[in-house]
Amino acid sequence: MSEEQAVLVDVADGVMTITLNRGKAKNAVNKAMAEGVAAAMDELDSNDDIRVGIITGADNTFCAGMDLKAFVTGELPMLPGRGFCGFVEAPPKKPLIAAVEGFALAGGLEVMISCDLIVAADNAKFGIPEVKRGLAAAAGGLVRLPKQVPPRLAMEMALTGDFIDSAKASEIGLINRVVPAGTALEGAKALAATISANGPLAVKLSKQVIVESGDWTADNMWANQQDIVNPVFTSEDAIEGATAFAEKRAPNWKGK
């Protein structure tokens, strides 16, 4: 399957939608898909006209993980410096939303938790069942998931391989929004529209602080934050935002 078929990319109204497009294989990730996603992430970060990214799956499922048929032939769906699916070790600097229908399992869940926000259908299922295949959830399930949900629950998911549903995922804070089945992408686009209406520099640097501050201490967190966000307060967008508020109009952001 060619790279173009494995990943579909659409840009509209400042939002990039990346679709994992191997529906017959439950959108399992092979090398072509990893390469396609990596190229899309590069475009997301480098194109100033794009404010937010969404990643979703074709045919009413998100992603069933690594393509095991390709794996047994020696093909790995990873790229140097980027990891599984071309981005889990190097997520984009701009916001990325997962729109989840159906199953987000194994590497699929690891793709999902590499995103900043998650909108999921009410019938979606989540899990890291790698242990059931003699494998380990090494694309984020063992190191990223325990930082997003209570560690004991992450431990249970990792050691049992059992699935959880959207209600449980919402209860433990794994996902942001639960929507009716078939509307996850619609819900993600609504969330993306809200984000893209805000100052792009402020959004990007706010994400950076939240992502990086997990490793900061009480002694350095304020200084580290100021180093990152200072450009926001001296930006053209800050003046524009205040002016637009006073003039009761929508801001005309420049991203600088």
The residues that bridge with 105 in the sheet, in sequence order, are 127
Catalytic residue among 110, 186, 240, 247: 110
d(CA 136, CA 103): 18
Neighbouring CB atoms inside 10 A of 203's CB total: 20
Burial class (CB in 10 A: 0-12, 13-18, 19+), 46: exposed
CA–CA distance from 85 to each of 65, 70, 202, 223 (Å)?
Answer: 9, 14, 28, 34
Catalytic residue among 4, 89, 130, 186: 130
Three-class HEC string of 141-181: CCCCHHHCCCHHHHHHHHHHCCCEEHHHHHHCCCCCEEECC
> Is 4 one of the catalytic residues?
no
Three-class DSSP category at 207: helix
> Is 130 one of the catalytic residues?
yes
Burial class (CB in 10 A: 0-12, 13-18, 19+), 122: middle
Q: What is the DSSP letter of 101?
A: -
Neighbouring CB atoms inside 10 A of 143's CB total: 12
CA–CA distance from 143 to each of 34, 132, 158 (Å)?
Answer: 21, 19, 11
| Residues labelled as active-site residues | 110, 130
